[in-house]
């Protein structure tokens, strides 16, 4: 093969690459699609009859049955996920998140030396069994606008155990419902 043949082969490859890139750029320009702000899809589960089932709310959770699933020992193990941001010891300080000693049945956003998000300071409720359960499922959904970046505890036993563990770590643990 002489140099003229090699030049033709290289030129053909280059022209092919340029045409493919050009077609891609032109089609991007002609068929422009705006990317969504949130890269996710909302998926709703449907029952066998085709009706959409909604997530549980505070009113339809049997908190006694839920708490019966958990144990304080299991809660201590699961709470290790929370220790990265929260202190549970009596007299412990705030970390990234507020201290959780005596958190059960105190008002939401009540630790005076911690800077809460506006959503938590405006949330005028107390941490009771139902509130803590709903918050631990998905904090960002339960109290919209709070700055806690935790994904939540989906497993009922884990949630119940953490709630029992938090209840045990207080001045006077409350009686179970």
Q: Which of 155, 103, 111 is nearest to 131 (CA)?
A: 103
- The answer to whether 155 and 65 are in contact (CB under 8 A) is no
Residue 57 has a pLDDT of 43
Residue 75 pLDDT class (50, 70, 90 cuts): very high
What pLDDT shows up at residue 58? Answer: 43
Please give the pLDDT value at position 53: 41
CB neighbourhood size of 86 (10 A): 21
Do 162 and 147 meet the contact criterion of CB atoms below 8 Å apart? Answer: no
- pLDDT at residue 43, rounded to an integer: 63
Q: Quick one: pLDDT at residue 40?
A: 67
29 confidence band (pLDDT: 50, 70, 90): confident
Q: Where are the domains of the chain?
A: 1-33, 62-168
Q: What is the mean pLDDT of residues 20-40?
A: 83
- CA 174 – CA 177 distance, rounded (Å): 9
According to the model, what pLDDT value does residue 7 have? Answer: 94
CATH T-level assignment (fold) for domain 62-168: Cytochrome Bc1 Complex; Chain D, domain 2 (1.10.760)
Q: Which residues pair with 46 in a beta bridge?
A: 52
Segment 31-44, tens digit of pLDDT: 877 777 776 666 66
pLDDT score for 177: 74
Q: Which helix (H) or strand (E) holds 64?
A: helix 63-69
The pLDDT value given to residue 159: 94
pLDDT tens digits, one per residue of 117-151: 999 999 999 999 999 999 999 999 999 988 888 88
| Eight-state DSSP code of residue 126 | B
pLDDT of residue 174: 75
Structure confidence at residue 41 (pLDDT): 66
């Amino acid at each position: 093969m002489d140099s003229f043949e090699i030049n033709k082969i290289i030129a053909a490859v280059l022209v092919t690459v340029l045409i493919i890139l050009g077609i891609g750029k032109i089609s991007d320009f002609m068929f422009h699609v705006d990317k969504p702000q949130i890269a996710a899809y909302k998926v709703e589960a449907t029952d066998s009859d085709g009706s959409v089932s909604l997530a549980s709310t505070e009113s339809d959770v049997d908190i006694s049955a839920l708490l019966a699933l958990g144990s304080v020992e299991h809660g201590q193990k699961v709470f290790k996920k929370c220790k990265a941001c929260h202190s549970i010891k009596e007299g412990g300080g705030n970390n990234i998140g507020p201290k959780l000693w005596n958190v059960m049945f105190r008002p939401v956003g009540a630790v005076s030396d911690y800077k809460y998000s506006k959503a938590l300071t405006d949330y005028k409720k107390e941490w009771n069994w139902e509130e803590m359960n709903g918050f631990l499922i998905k904090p960002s959904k339960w109290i919209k606008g709070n700055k806690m970046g935790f994904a939540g505890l989906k497993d009922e036993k884990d949630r119940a155990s953490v709630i029992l563990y938090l209840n045990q770590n207080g001045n006077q643990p409350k009686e179970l419902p």
